Amino acid sequence: MHMNDIPMGIAPHRALPRIRLSPEIWDAIRDRYHNGESAEALSDLFGISLSSFRVHAREGGWRRMDSPDPIVEAPPTPEDLARDERPNIGVMADIAMRRAARAVREGRLTEARGWTRVGRSLAAAARRERPGRDEA
């Protein structure tokens, strides 16, 4: 290959500008990570690569096992259980199918498959619960 054969311009791996986040933003990312958000979601949200996130997490010692335990609500009392406040399973099935559709539109097919399974399972449970009605 001759020097004249090399294309001029920005190399494909350098086409996007690199961004440098402030320490305050990295602190916010760390806090959100410790509160349960995924590394992938935070990388997408803050516009950083997943490898950059993992490097900061490793260098900063961000381990979820070091996070404080989540606040757990007290178990329901017998009075709470006596009230019939069960969720509408048909509505839950609709929500799951909407989330599946959004995941497909955003290219997250594995997540969409999971939401579809949940939606179908909930729809079947709703039909069993109310056998005389057909829910669309």
Instruction: Report the SS3 class of residue 135.
Output: coil
* Cα separation, 28 vs 21, whole angstroms: 11
Query: What distance in Å separates the CA atoms of residue 23 and residue 29, rounded to the nearest whole number?
Result: 10
Per residue in 24-50, pLDDT tens? 999 999 988 888 888 898 988 888 889
pLDDT digits (tens, 9 = 90+) for 76-113: 777 776 676 677 888 889 999 999 999 999 888 888 99
Asked if pLDDT for residue 121 goes beyond 90, the answer is yes
Of 92, 105, 36, nearest to 64 (Cα)?
A: 36
Residue at token pair 């056998």: 131
Predicted local distance difference test score (pLDDT) of residue 27: 92
**Predicted pLDDT of residue 1:** 52
* Residue 47, CA atoms < 13 Å, CB-side half-sphere: 7
Q: Check residues 6 and 104 and name the one with the higher pLDDT.
A: 104
Predicted pLDDT of residue 85: 65
Q: CA-to-CA distance for 85 and 83, rounded, in angstroms?
A: 6
User: Is-contact 129 89, C-beta < 8 A?
Assistant: yes
Token couple for 20: 């440098």
2-8 mean pLDDT: 55
